Amino acid sequence: PEKAVPEYYRMGEILLSYLDHSTVYCRENVLQALYTLGNENALIRALQTFQENGWYHEPKLLSDGMLHFRGDKNSLARRLGNQKWSEQMKAVLIRFMTRLEEDMSDLVLPELTAGHYELCFAAIRYFAAHINREAEPVLLKILKEDGDTAVAAAQTLGSYPDEAAKEALKEALCSRRWDVRRNSAESLMKMNLSKEEIGQLCTSEDRYAREMFIYVLESRGKTGCWEH
């Protein structure tokens, strides 16, 4: 909880005033001071000022910076998550939420289907760290569509070791994209594959699927398909 002392709020107001006619370096210094102060209201107002003025700020600086917030990070994330932001800022918030312990799937789940590339990517990665069965059908759909975000979906589905994910990843080994094939093979390695399944994947009729699976299998220290 924020400290109910006038100096605390006054400091937040002073810091916010430094944003007037500021440079990018000044803005970063103001944000760092607000993280240290731990004043939710002042930090939210600062971020709103960034958005209202159309100021670009390095997304990684923002998401990493919020982790140094000295107040209640979960409370901050929820308050931020319930406000209107640009797609880029939403992606920043999801990256911040990903590194918190509290489950905020209710705020992130809708962004899987938002249609914005960067935002969808952040949401997919969120569900690798915060397992949620409601997200799995959407992740499977993204993987099957074989677009750019399928790369992240293939990686995240390694955290969902059930038959539906396993079969989808086997199919994705035949993707036209090498990075989807690579992540699918890596995710399959996290699952309980039988010797028969390994043998089938090693002898797949799809040359690219076969070669990628064998490559990933051997890169993990295995001697080859025929040892299983």
For the chain, the average pLDDT equals: 92
- Tracing tokens 């001697």 back to the chain, one arrives at 223
The answer, as to whether pTM is greater than 0.85, is yes
**Where would I find the H helices in the chain?**
6-17, 24-37, 40-53, 59-66, 73-81, 87-98, 105-108, 117-129, 136-145, 150-156, 163-172, 178-189, 195-202, 207-219
Task: Tell me how far apart the alpha carbons of residues 114 and 83 are, in angstroms, rounded to a whole number.
Answer: 16
Q: Is the pLDDT of residue 6 over 80?
A: no
Q: Is the pLDDT of residue 228 over 50?
A: no
**What pLDDT, on a 0 to 100 scale, did the predictor assign at position 168?**
98
Task: Tell me how far apart the alpha carbons of residues 57 and 48 are, in angstroms, rounded to a whole number.
Answer: 12
**Averaged pLDDT, 167-174:** 97
CB 153 within 8 A of CB 121: no
**What pLDDT, on a 0 to 100 scale, did the predictor assign at position 7?**
66
Quickly state the pLDDT bin for 21 (edges 50, 70, 90). confident
For the beta carbon of residue 154, count every other beta carbon within 10 angstroms: 31
- SS3 assignment, position 168: helix
**What pLDDT, on a 0 to 100 scale, did the predictor assign at position 151?**
97
